[in-house]
Amino acid sequence: MPELDERILVNRLQAGDPLAFKALYDIYSVRIYGKLLKMVKSDDLAQDLLQHTFMNVWNHRATLDPDQSFSAYVFKIADNLTLNTWRKAGRNKVLMEKIISSATPYYSHTEEWLTGKENMRQIQEAIDRLPPRRKEIFILCKIEDKSYAEVSELLGISTSTINDHLVKAIKALKTDLTRQGFFTGCLFLLVLPAVQGL
């Protein structure tokens, strides 16, 4: 049975077996990388987050519980690392530029890209002005494209609370961006795939 085999691997990993670690990496790395790539739209960043995820697993192997789902455990680590990257990006302009630059394939001409980059910078600044919890929920739902259920589990709050924060965040962003000179038709930038992939 696959579940039994995985439990054996986790037991062996817990004891420090590198072959068990490699086996679990081989089982989960492609799926986790795919999810990370969808969230950050950057091969380098997704690869980096993937390696950090499994470094985390190895460094904390002694605390693993073979009776708990390893899949849920390793995906949660990847989610948390991605969230931490977004938090750092909000404070680190170099990192934000790196993430924004990963959206360049969505633009066919340099002029369009520069315009889009400036738009995204203004949007990011507007997002940074949201209250911390509201900003966190907006990033998870609109940028990382997580479901309400996923965010509820991650943050330990109800889906109705998430919806309330999200409605207020979008309203605040529309007001803020309109004040900056975005006309109403440009507000679709909040949900462009390139922005969601930041």
Where do the domains of the chain lie, and which CATH numbers do they carry? 2-89 (1.10.1740.10), 107-196 (1.10.10.10)
Q: CA angle 131-133-134, nearest 5°?
A: 65
- pLDDT, tens digit, for every residue of 7-60? 899 999 999 999 999 999 999 999 998 888 887 777 778 888 899 999 999 999
Q: What is the Cα–Cα distance from 144 to 151, expressed in whole angstroms?
A: 10
Q: Provide the residue-wise pLDDT of the chain in tens; the chain has 198 residues.
A: 355 588 899 999 999 999 999 999 999 999 998 888 887 777 778 888 899 999 999 999 999 988 888 999 999 899 888 877 776 655 555 555 555 555 444 333 334 444 455 566 777 788 888 899 998 888 888 777 778 888 888 889 988 898 888 888 888 887 887 776 654 334 444 433 333 333
